């Protein structure tokens, strides 16, 4: 197994399926992307697009009947060894999860244990992966709370999660995730449950910690406004597949897939949303809804909602082809 020297994560033709005696749900169906050292790759899409299942596949956190059905997930650890995470078992994942790869989730209240103080939970993460005493783990936990800029960290060390605000709990989750200095951080909708002001603070914190630790970030979101703030490259998913991939500036300047155009049009814009006569206009929404993963159309998954669709779009799934400086899964990408 080999990786480009600048690549820390390489997902190739990943297939994650949920198979029961009644049906097969291809939640992730042939996803491919690379993440470079020290960079942030945003994976964008509506609920049901497969972005969170992709992240859970990388972390080995799939619940039954979900399982990786094909493809590879090559990961370079801090000792420059390359592993195929798609072939890992539970014991293998326990060795690297939290130490080499860490994850923060959308709602910290359901991720933190309500029965333990935040200091104990951060300390437990450290003690799990490093040979430290209880007092050393507690001291490191205090350092992490200060690192994520929790005010009066020494007194908050013995707080329980319910005693903290949503923004503070998310900072605790970030402190836990970074406690062992992972080289890859997966952030699954980490700011969605927070108000706009706190969102901006958390994004700024992640940027500064990324520079300090030199880590790579896989950022899962449905919000293109957040993507503009933090990402270097963007992968857009729909129906379990990548439909567009490009550097962030190029994606915002020129979208090569109708779905990406629709997502961007849905993003509130203070100038665009005011009509020439000063009236506030209704926000745009993509017509229709994401089809169930068990009932995707035979051609392009986005075709039923696409105003650019042709007859050929209904006949067979389009391939992911080169488009500008990125890639697009649209037969009309050159016209967009």
**How far apart are the C-alpha atoms of 71 and 262, rounded to whole Å?**
30
Residue 127, in any domain of the structure: yes
Residue 270 pLDDT exceeds 70: no
Confidence of residue 161 (pLDDT cuts 50, 70, 90): very high
Per-residue pLDDT averaged across 244-268, rounded? Answer: 93
In-domain check, residue 36? no
pLDDT digits (tens, 9 = 90+) for 2-25: 788 899 999 999 999 999 988 899
Within-domain flag for 224: no
Tokens coding 206? 């992640």
Torsion angles phi and psi, residue 120, rounded to 5:
-65, -40
d(CA 266, CA 198): 22
* Boundary-marking domain end, from 164, 181, 198: 181
pLDDT above 70 covers a percentage of the chain that reads: 96
Instruction: State how far the Cα of 221 lies from the Cα of 276, in Å rounded to an integer.
Output: 32
3-state SS assignment for residue 283: coil
**Where is the domain boundary, 181, 199, 214?**
181
Per the domain annotation, does 313 fall within a domain?
Answer: yes
Residue 1: alpha-carbon gap to chain centroid: 25
Q: What residues have CB less than 8 Å from 208, skipping those under 6 apart?
A: none
In a domain? residue 137: yes
Stated pTM of the model: 0.93
Instruction: Tell me if 136 is assigned to some domain.
Output: yes
Final residue of a domain: which of 155, 181, 207? 181
Residue 48 within any structural domain of the chain: no
Long-range contacts: 270-279, Cβ < 8 Å, 24+?
Answer: none
**Residue 103: pLDDT band by 50, 70, 90 thresholds?**
very high
**198 vs 234, which has greater pLDDT?**
234
Number of structural domains (the chain) is: 2
23 within domain boundaries: no
Consecutive H or E run containing 243: strand 241-247
Residue 194, pLDDT score: 81
What is the domain extent for residue 308? Answer: 257-335
Residue ranges of alpha helices (H) inside 240-292 are 248-253, 258-265
- Beta bridge pairs of residue 241: 238
Residue 274: band (very low, low, confident or very high) from pLDDT cuts 50, 70, 90: low
């Amino acid at each position: 197994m080999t990786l480009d020297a600048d690549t820390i994560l390489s997902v190739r033709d990943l297939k994650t399926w949920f198979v029961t005696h009644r049906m097969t749900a291809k939640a992730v169906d042939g996803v491919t992307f690379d993440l470079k050292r020290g960079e942030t790759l945003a994976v964008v899409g509506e609920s049901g697009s497969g972005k969170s299942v992709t992240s859970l596949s990388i972390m080995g956190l799939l619940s039954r009947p979900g399982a990786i059905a094909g493809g590879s997930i090559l990961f370079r650890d801090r000792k420059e060894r390359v592993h195929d995470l798609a072939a890992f078992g539970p014991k293998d994942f326990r060795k690297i999860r939290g130490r080499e790869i860490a994850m923060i989730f959308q709602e910290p209240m359901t991720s933190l244990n309500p029965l333990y103080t935040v200091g104990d939970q951060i300390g437990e993460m450290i003690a799990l992966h490093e040979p430290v005493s209880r007092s050393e783990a507690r001291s490191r936990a205090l350092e992490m709370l200060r690192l994520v800029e929790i005010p009066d960290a020494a007194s908050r060390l013995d707080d329980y999660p319910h005693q903290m605000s949503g923004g503070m709990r998310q900072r605790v989750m970030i402190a836990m995730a970074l406690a062992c200095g992972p080289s890859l951080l997966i952030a699954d909708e980490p700011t969605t449950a927070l108000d706009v002001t706190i969102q901006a603070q958390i994004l700024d914190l992640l940027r500064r910690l990324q520079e300090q630790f030199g880590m790579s970030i896989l950022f899962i979101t449905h919000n293109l406004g957040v993507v503009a703030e933090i990402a270097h490259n963007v992968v857009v998913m729909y129906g379990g597949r990548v439909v567009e991939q490009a550097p962030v500036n190029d994606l915002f300047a020129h979208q090569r897939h109708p779905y990406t155009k629709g997502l961007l049009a849905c993003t509130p814009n203070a100038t665009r949303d005011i009509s020439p006569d000063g009236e506030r206009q209704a926000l745009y929404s993509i017509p229709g809804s994401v089809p169930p993963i068990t009932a995707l159309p035979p051609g392009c998954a986005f075709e039923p909602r696409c105003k650019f669709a042709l007859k050929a779009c209904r006949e067979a799934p389009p391939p992911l082809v080169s488009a500008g400086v990125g890639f697009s899964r649209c037969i009309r990408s050159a016209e967009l």
